[in-house]
Amino acid sequence: MEHLDQIMAELLGLTLSTGQQAAFQRYSDELREWNERFNLTAIIDPQAIEVRHFADSLACLLIMRPPLSGLRVIDVGSGAGFPGLPIRILCPGVKMTLLESTGKKVAFLEHITHVLKLDGVTLINERAETLGQAVEHREKYDWVLARAVAGMASLAEYLLPLCKIGGHCLALKGESAAQEVADAQHAITVLGGHIIQLTPIELPTVAETHYLVDIEKIAATPPRFPRRPGMPAKKPL
Give the CATH number of domain 67-234. Answer: 3.40.50.150
3 band by pLDDT with thresholds 50, 70 and 90:
confident
CA–CA separation, 80 vs 59, rounded Å? 17
Q: What's the confidence (pLDDT) of residue 24?
A: 97
- Residue 180 phi, psi (nearest 5): -60, -45
Instruction: Summarize pLDDT for 4-37 with one digit per residue, the tens.
Output: 999 999 999 999 999 999 999 999 999 999 999 9
Q: What's the confidence (pLDDT) of residue 117?
A: 97
Instruction: Summarize pLDDT for 86-106 with one digit per residue, the tens.
Output: 999 999 999 999 999 999 999
Question: Does pTM top 0.85 for this prediction?
Answer: yes
Question: What is Dmax (Cα atoms) for the chain?
Answer: 48
pLDDT over 90 for what percent of the chain?
91
Instruction: Summarize pLDDT for 104-160 with one digit per residue, the tens.
Output: 999 999 999 999 999 999 999 999 999 999 999 999 999 999 997 899 999 999 999
Q: Are 161 and 221 in contact (CB under 8 A)?
A: yes
Ordered by start, the domain boundaries in the chain are 67-234
Instruction: Summarize pLDDT for 197-230 with one digit per residue, the tens.
Output: 999 999 988 889 999 999 999 999 999 999 999 9
Q: What's the confidence (pLDDT) of residue 19?
A: 96
**Amino acid letter, residue 98:** L
Q: How many CB atoms lie within 10 A of CB 15?
A: 11
Q: Burial of 140 by CB count in 10 Å (0-12 exposed, 13-18 middle, 19+ buried)?
A: middle
Q: What's the confidence (pLDDT) of residue 69?
A: 96
2 band by pLDDT with thresholds 50, 70 and 90:
confident
Q: What's the confidence (pLDDT) of residue 39?
A: 87
> Residue 63 pLDDT more than 90?
yes
CA–CA separation, 173 vs 131, rounded Å? 23
